[in-house]
Amino acid sequence: MQIGIVGLGKMGANMARRLTRGGARVVAYDRERAARDALAGEPRVTIENNLANLAAHLAGERVILLMLPAGSPTQDTIDQLLPMLSSGDTLVDGGNAYYKDSKNRALQLSQRGLRFVDAGVSGGIHGLAQGYCLMLGGTPKSIEIFEPFAKILAPGPETGWLHCGPSGAGHFAKMIHNGIEYGMMQAYAEGFALLEGRKEFDIDLARLAETWRHGSVVRSWLLDLSVEALAADEALAAAAPLVADSGEGRWTVLESVEQGVPAPVISMALMARFSSQGRSDFASRLLAVLRARFGGHAVTRRS
């Protein structure tokens, strides 16, 4: 059982390790030499220094998993691979691609006799030990081909992975998953901020979070991670109040607009991330000046 992996970042490299520990053989490539070197010497992993060698090393109907950033990096790699592939080969996109792009990609590849699986992947840096949650889109045959690898990558052979539906369904499910994640994280952050703000109670936030982990209806893996974050006082104090957004939250909010289905919590969580990135600064300055104009209130000057 052999699979190719292109993209050996934190996710791709650990997925390669989990696959080999589950009995698969991996042929891997990353354009960065440091990423290739980091995986070199791993049992049952063959490192190649270009895509042509990776494609040539794989036998039979090939399965290649792409763990690359969405957009140009993924499309450019597919374009480079196409002349090296044959009818019946399967490409699996495990990046956070927009589901509409995945639907188009599946159609284009099928016209060349190639199979395509869009794989939403959740698990992050903990996936190596705990397994990855996989949301898969594609034809039944494409999923059947990838299934042996999905069973190794998932937390269990029959748990933590799902054929969600036709092409695009996997990345659509992952997009909504990440939108929910935005809302949950925002709720935890706001709640603990309120707890921290009432100084006279002097609540030990890490211990309270640990207490909530047992029996509370708000317990979750995100709460488990909150315990660790709140206990690391120095790391928390040193962190800048800036939260990036990967794009999945934006796509989820756009989907809510397209469907006309309200998603206020997810939308506000995305707006909070924009605000943390300084994108509300102009509006806040204008508000301060307007307040001064009509009410004579002082404007705080930048230091």
pLDDT digits (tens, 9 = 90+) for 240-253: 998 988 889 999 99
Domain-wise residue ranges, the chain: 2-167
Exactly one of 103, 174, 248, 255 is catalytic; name it: 174
What is the rounded distance in angstroms from the CA atom of residue 147 to the CA atom of residue 155? 14
Q: How confident is the model at residue 296, as a pLDDT?
A: 82
* Whole-number pLDDT of residue 82: 95
pTM of the model: 0.92
Q: What is the mean pLDDT of the chain?
A: 95
Whether 174 sits among the annotated catalytic residues: the reply is: yes
Q: What is the pLDDT of residue 206?
A: 96
42, 147, 151, 181: the catalytic one is: 181
Q: Which amino acid is located at 136 in the chain?
A: L
In this structure, whether the domain defined by 2-167 belongs to CATH 3.30.450.40 is answered with no
Identify the pLDDT of residue 217.
Answer: 97
Confidence of residue 103 (pLDDT cuts 50, 70, 90): very high
Residue 255 scores a pLDDT above 90? yes
Token readout for 291 is 């307040």
pLDDT (mean) for 174-189 = 96
Could you tell me the two tokens for 27? 């042929």
Contacts 24+ apart (CB under 8 A), 274-279: 274/245, 276/241, 276/242, 276/243, 277/242, 277/243, 277/244, 277/245, 278/242
